[in-house]
Amino acid sequence: MVTYHTLEVKGLNIFYRKAGNPDKPTILLLHGFPSASHMFRDLIPVLEKDYYVIAPDYPGFGNTTSPDRKEFDYTFDHITEVIEAFVNKLELDKYALYVFDYGAPIGFRLAMHNPERVTAIISQNGNIYREGLGSKWATREEYWENPTPEKRQSYRTAFASETIKHQYIDGTRENTVSPDGYTLDITYMKRPGNDEKQLDLIFDYQTNVKMYPEFQQYLRKYQPPLLAVWGKNDVSFIPEGAKAFKKDLPDAEVHLVDSGHFALETHANEIGELMLDFLKRNHI
Distances in Å between the Cα of 222 and the Cα atoms of 182, 189, 209, 215, 248 are 36, 37, 21, 11, 10
The residue type at 6? T
What ranges in 28-155 are assigned the alpha helix state H?
Answer: 44-47, 76-89, 103-113, 136-145, 149-154
Strand stretches in the chain, DSSP E: 3-9, 12-19, 26-30, 52-56, 95-99, 118-123, 226-231, 253-257
* Whether the Cβ atoms of residue 121 and residue 224 lie closer than 8 Å to each other: yes
Confidence of residue 120 (pLDDT cuts 50, 70, 90): very high
* Whether the Cβ atoms of residue 94 and residue 119 lie closer than 8 Å to each other: yes
Summarised one tens digit per residue, pLDDT across range 253-268 is 999 999 999 999 999 9
pTM score, whole prediction: 0.98
Residues forming the active site: 261
When pLDDT is averaged across residues 149-170 and rounded to a whole number, the result is 96
Q: Enumerate domains of the chain plus CATH numbers.
A: 3-281 (3.40.50.1820)
Cα–Cα dist 38/44, whole Å? 10
pLDDT of residue 26: 98
When pLDDT is averaged across residues 151-179 and rounded to a whole number, the result is 96
